[in-house]
Amino acid sequence: MRAVVQRVTHASVSVDDDVIGRTGPGLLLLVCAMQGDTESNAEKLAGKIGRLRIFRDDAGKTNLSALDAGAGALVISQFTLAADTSRGNRPGFSAAAAPDIAEALYLSVAKHLENMGIPTQTGRFGAEMQVDLTNDGPMTIWLDV
């Protein structure tokens, strides 16, 4: 699985001008299930994200995880992270998992984060979404598991 992890001061996701998910200070996660990914990958990705020490402690150093900082998470499915741009100018997405598998794995990541104690909201799989965020830092990390 692949994810872009962004530390944010706030983030929200809307469908048809209705906000369907949000987080205050925390994480915006763009998550992509790749061909061959399994539940094990989803659990590993969530664990890695939940324990990433990217939040500032009282001394201003990035020593705290989302769990330590009491941060929330907004998880958005993002199949375009599987883009192959090696041939021409039109990206190919054949490395992305099939939609039914991708949806289950994306929701599993969110469930694992919630089970870790991180308040978690999601976007809507397959919907045309608008994501609004303020990246804090900026702090943006690419993860592959």
Active site residue 78: yes
Q: Which residue has the tokens 């089970």?
A: 115
Catalytic residue among 6, 23, 79, 122: 79
Average pLDDT over residues 123-127: 97
pLDDT reported for residue 143: 97
Q: Side chain identity at 58, as an amino acid letter?
A: D
CA 22, 56, 46, 67 dihedral sign is negative
Helix (H), strand (E) at residue 76: strand 72-77
Catalytic residue among 9, 80, 130, 134: 80
Catalytic residue among 6, 23, 55, 78: 78
pLDDT in tens, 36-92: 999 999 999 999 999 999 999 999 999 999 999 999 999 999 999 999 999 999 999
pLDDT in tens, 15-35: 999 999 999 999 999 999 999
Name all domains of the chain by residue range, CATH numbers in brackets.
2-85+92-144 (3.50.80.10)
